[in-house]
Structure 1
Amino acid sequence: MNAVEPIRDRDTIIEIKRYLLVKNQRDYILFFLGINVGLRISDLLHLKVKDVSTGKIKIRERKTKKNKVILIPRDVNKALDLYILNMENEDYLFPSRKGINKPIRRETAYKILKKLQKKFKLGLVGTHTLRKTFGYHFYKQFNDVVALQKIFNHRDQKETLIYIGIQQDELDRMMSRFNL
């Protein structure tokens, strides 16, 4: 099984956001929120309106069972406010078309990302791509692996750098300059 990659190019991220904004509001919010808060897809898909209506996400992570509070970045919060305007507190943020008040499934999120991969010629993508994209750009912006390790609940810094693809970037950069 191949590891999925973050979306490294900011211009591509902007193009994807523009495309999704016009194409599908739900998918746009899934992408926009996912690349800005670093939650696992299982946690994202189970968010309800009440979980994001205060400008913070308060959840108990499904995998780690740890309670977590995440400040939602301002631009994402503005988009969320518009998106949830006519929704009820108990509504899932990413409703499925199948069933009443059920979230989309992981497989649906995967299909959304695979369509983006094809349209935008992305590298290997999967449901971890949103979280890895957040991690990659967080690290590039702040260069703080300790903070990112804490956000991701990783055991050590090496695990975090491998997860977001930084270690591979550095190896590629060195190999491209290597000359014997």
Structure 2
Amino acid sequence: MNFVQPIRDPDMILFIKRYLKEQSERNYMLFVTGINSGLRISDILQLRVRDVKKTYFNIIEIKTGKKKRIDMTPQLQKEFKVYIEGKEDHEFLFKSRVGLNKPLSRSMAYKILRTAGERFGLDDIGTHTMRKTFGYHLYKQTGDVALLQKILNHSDPAFTLRYIGISDDMMNKAIKAFKI
């Protein structure tokens, strides 16, 4: 498994969003959901239309088995309102083109994101990039590692900072500023 990074540049996020929207609304919404919720791909792919009709997600995390409530950003709520129009409550949000009402596979979600990343010269991108991007930008906006640690369900703040690439940023900044 490759180690993926968050997308740090807000302009790059916009480029990827535009690119994915040109491909399909499903691919665009998959990315928008990931970068605005902090959910793992395994949890995102299990979402159904009924799960996004509220202002929050009520999920049981597949990895941990823990029940979790996550408020949606107003922008994500707005995007979902348009996206689910005409869809039935039982339908998966991100349906595969194979089969009847089957969720998109993890491997296809990975392929969608890898293709977008390659288009823009990002090598270290994968499905986990969305969760890390959410964490990185939430931390940059709030500076609250304890809050982010709780949201991401991590046990150690140092791990959370490494996870979202802040430790790398600090090392790179220190090296660039270093003089003898």
**TM-score normalised to the size of structure 2?**
0.97
Q: Aligned runs of 1:9-88 on 2, under 5 Å?
A: 9-88=9-88
Aligned residue-pair number? 180
Q: Distance in 1 between matches of 2:27 and 2:173?
A: 34
Shift of 1:124: 0.3
Q: Please say if 1:133 is aligned against 2:146.
A: no
Shift of 1:22: 2.6
Letter matched to residue 125 of structure 1: I
Shift of 1:4: 0.4
CA displacement 1:66-106 (0-9 Å, x = unmatched): 11111111111111111101111110000001111110110
Give yes or no for contact 1:113–1:125 (8 Å, CA) kept in 2. Answer: yes
Shift of 1:40: 0.5
- What is aligned with 2:161? 161
- What is aligned with 1:94? 94
Shift of 1:18: 1.9
Give yes or no for contact 2:20–2:28 (8 Å, CA) kept in 1. Answer: yes
Give yes or no for contact 2:19–2:116 (8 Å, CA) kept in 1. Answer: no
- What is aligned with 1:150? 150
Q: 1:2 to 1:43 in 2, by over 3 A?
A: same
Q: What SS does the aligned partner of 1:69 have?
A: strand
Structure 1: state its 5+ residue gaps: none
Structure 2: state its 5+ residue gaps: none
The sequence identity of aligned pairs, in percent, is 50
Letter matched to residue 28 of structure 2: Y
Q: Distance in 1 between matches of 2:18 and 2:117?
A: 15
Q: Distance in 1 between matches of 2:55 and 2:91?
A: 17
Q: What SS does the aligned partner of 1:57 have?
A: strand
Q: Please say if 1:170 is aligned against 2:179.
A: no
Q: Distance in 2 between matches of 1:126 and 1:20?
A: 14
Give yes or no for contact 1:40–1:128 (8 Å, CA) kept in 2. Answer: yes
Give yes or no for contact 2:135–2:148 (8 Å, CA) kept in 1. Answer: yes
Give yes or no for contact 2:45–2:103 (8 Å, CA) kept in 1. Answer: yes
- What is aligned with 1:8? 8
Q: Distance in 1 between matches of 2:140 and 2:108?
A: 30
Q: Distance in 2 between matches of 1:108 and 1:19?
A: 17
Give yes or no for contact 1:34–1:130 (8 Å, CA) kept in 2. Answer: yes
**TM-score normalised to the size of structure 1?**
0.97
Q: Distance in 2 between matches of 1:152 and 1:170?
A: 21
- Runs ≥4 residues deviating over 3 A: none
CA displacement 1:121-168 (0-9 Å, x = unmatched): 124011100000000000000001001000111001011001000001
Q: What SS does the aligned partner of 1:3 have?
A: coil
Give yes or no for contact 1:5–1:123 (8 Å, CA) kept in 2. Answer: no
Shift of 1:55: 1.7
Q: Aligned runs of 1:97-112 on 2, under 5 Å?
A: 97-112=97-112
Q: Distance in 1 between matches of 2:124 and 2:174?
A: 22
